[in-house]
Structure 1
Amino acid sequence: MTVTADDLDAAIAQVVAALGPIADRDWSVPAGTLEWTCRQTAEHIGDCLMSYAGQIVVRPTGRYVRFMAEADEKASPAEVLEFAEAGGRILVATVRTASPHVRAYHPSGMADPEGFAAMGCVEALLHGQDIAQGLGLPFDPPRDVCARVLARLFPRAAADLGSADPWHALSWSTGRIELPGLPRLREWRWRGAPLSD
């Protein structure tokens, strides 16, 4: 696999390391440019990554597994971050134990465990950045993980933006930033299906 459970583990660890020390701040502020608050964004990370794990386990072919996970409404920011980490670690464990031949529904194509790991990295890293931005902190994700995720989910961008910083290329590919000579994307889509399919 190009993107592994270890990559997702590293992405989750980066988010927790960056945001854990600021869990005493007010997480009701907007997360970067999102309409969600920092709390809602962290909760989304946990829900989304648990949902990806559910897809791998149940393997539906035409829809998402019908469940939503949420943090307790009285959870503190530290506890909501713990919820996000739990979702990530559940997906890590699921990817580690799943056969690479498993396929499950995602709107971007029938994804394999590697695809769900890569999508989990994007959700964790980009939304971790949103939360950090909302709380006024820098965020510095692992570039090697970003490069592998970019190559797996956005192969065309990986080829075209080979000289760009992998984090900036990933951020551009998901419509977050402009790059020199490249306007911010208004619409984008990653490839969930394996590159060999």
Structure 2
Amino acid sequence: MRFMGAERAEEAVASCAALLRTVVGEDWSGTKAAGLEWSCRETVTHIASDLIGYAGNLAGRLKSSYAPFDITVDGDENGDYKADNAGQIEVVEVMGALFSATLRTTPRAARGFHPYPFRSANRDGFAAMGIAEVLLHTHDIARAFDTPYEPPAEVAEYVLTTIFPTVRPGPAPWPTLLWATGRGDLPGREPVTGWRWSNNHVIRADRLALEGVTPAAAADLHSGGDGGFDWVEDGPFDGTRVASQMLWQAYEAGVHRPEFGVYVLVREEDDRAVGGMGFHGAPDEQGRVEVGYDLAESARGQGYATEALGALTRWALDREDVTTLVATVDRDNLASQAVVTRTGFVQVGEKGDAGELLVFELKG
């Protein structure tokens, strides 16, 4: 899956600038943006600040806080640079260009600080967050001047499938994104009064990072792509593609919980993906949740599955909503049985007409 974040960001900024030029003669300072406490001028500055701020956090690989800077838009008495509405548009375009350049030059595995919900985001996440800020606040300004605005559908879809994994797809991406952020209505759905986006979850093991798969990546994986990961030569294995299809189906049904989805196992030393691991859904009412995993054949026999399963189970059993982890293993798959028993699972039963499946449990 080719990384599309930079291109989508450029499309978003272009659509914003085009809308702003239709209202360039209006009173931006004296008009509040719809639904906000900021004036339209302050909102345009906010768009530019978000673009360069996100670029800074990603480029700097910041770990614990936002980069401590902001931008102001001023003019001088000599007219060397201008602070009128047209100048504001130029600032957005410049910040957008810097944002897109950062996205293009940042390695796939790089992450920077963002508070919600897991304290970091990768370049896909930053791309989607920056695009969301551009699209949504351009909408707020357009509404203030009663001017129609609709960005390209694929740009809104990129945002939804990257950082709104729990939002069930609607009839079209743009009205769905407006509904998800409390800016519009969708037939058959209650109005949204509070919302947050969600960057992908990462669980660290010793040699591996378990990187959460977004709906966008899942769609690519189950259709035969790489999901945006750099796989070893014989990956991904079939189980990862099947699990990704299950994730996409849960997303389409509006029941996907990203932390209980699919994770790709990525070697820290070379950023190569070696397998997949995750859950068959969210915990049930008793706190039981089933896990599954696979590895590319070239990555087997090196302890990766045991290491990753240990990290995943520790994370899960630290949660209040998980009491028991379940793993179902083929009777003939001795290697997988060894993985679960080394992790602490205990066989508790059998499944299938001939008992061809062994059931293991690990209780918190």
Q: TM-score, normalised by structure 2?
A: 0.51
* CA-CA distance at 1:66 after TM superposition: 0.6
Q: Secondary structure at the match of 1:149?
A: helix
C-alpha distance in structure 2 between counterparts of 1:25 and 1:87, whole Å: 23
* CA-CA distance at 1:49 after TM superposition: 0.8
In the alignment, what sits opposite 2:91? 83
Q: Retained in 2: the 8 A contact 1:3–1:152?
A: no
**What is the total number of aligned residue pairs between the two structures?**
194
C-alpha distance in structure 2 between counterparts of 1:38 and 1:21, whole Å: 14
Greater Cα radius of gyration, structure 1 or 2: 2
User: Root-mean-square deviation (CA), in Å?
Assistant: 1.6
Q: Structure 1: state its 5+ residue gaps.
A: none
C-alpha distance in structure 1 between counterparts of 2:11 and 2:176, whole Å: 19
C-alpha distance in structure 2 between counterparts of 1:193 and 1:66, whole Å: 24
Asked if 1:128 corresponds to 2:130, the answer is no
Determine what percentage of the aligned residue pairs are the same residue.
38
Higher helix fraction (1 or 2): 1
Asked if 1:100 corresponds to 2:108, the answer is yes
* CA-CA distance at 1:3 after TM superposition: 4.5
In the alignment, what sits opposite 1:23? 24
C-alpha distance in structure 2 between counterparts of 1:128 and 1:167, whole Å: 13
* Matched ranges for 1:178-193 at <5 A: 178-193=185-200
In the alignment, what sits opposite 1:48? 50
Q: Retained in 2: the 8 A contact 1:4–1:114?
A: yes
* CA-CA distance at 1:183 after TM superposition: 2.1
Q: Retained in 2: the 8 A contact 1:2–1:152?
A: no
C-alpha distance in structure 2 between counterparts of 1:135 and 1:17, whole Å: 14
Match of 2:152 among 132, 142, 154: 142
C-alpha distance in structure 2 between counterparts of 1:127 and 1:164, whole Å: 22
- Report the CA distance shift for 1:75/1:83 in structure 2 as closer, same or farther (over 3 A): same
| Superposed CA offset, 1:56-115 (max 9, x none) | 111111111111112116711111121122222111110011001100110123111111
Asked if 1:72 corresponds to 2:74, the answer is yes
Runs of 4+ in 1 over 2 A off after TM superposition: 192-197
- Counterpart code for 1:95: L
Higher strand fraction (1 or 2): 2
* CA-CA distance at 1:46 after TM superposition: 0.3
Moved more, 135-144 or 169-178: 169-178
Q: TM-score, normalised by structure 1?
A: 0.92
C-alpha distance in structure 1 between counterparts of 2:98 and 2:190, whole Å: 36
C-alpha distance in structure 1 between counterparts of 2:178 and 2:22, whole Å: 24
Q: Secondary structure at the match of 1:155?
A: coil
Q: Retained in 2: the 8 A contact 1:174–1:185?
A: yes
Moved more, 68-77 or 94-103: 68-77
In the alignment, what sits opposite 2:60? 58
Tell me: higher relative CO, structure 1 or 2? Use CA pairs within 8 A at least 6 residues apart. Answer: 1
Q: Secondary structure at the match of 1:116?
A: helix
Q: Secondary structure at the match of 2:44?
A: helix
Q: Secondary structure at the match of 2:111?
A: coil
In the alignment, what sits opposite 1:117? 127
Q: Structure 2: state its 5+ residue gaps.
A: 76-81, 202-211, 214-262, 264-364
* CA-CA distance at 1:192 after TM superposition: 2.2
* Matched ranges for 1:144-163 at <5 A: 144-157=154-167, 160-161=168-169, 163=170
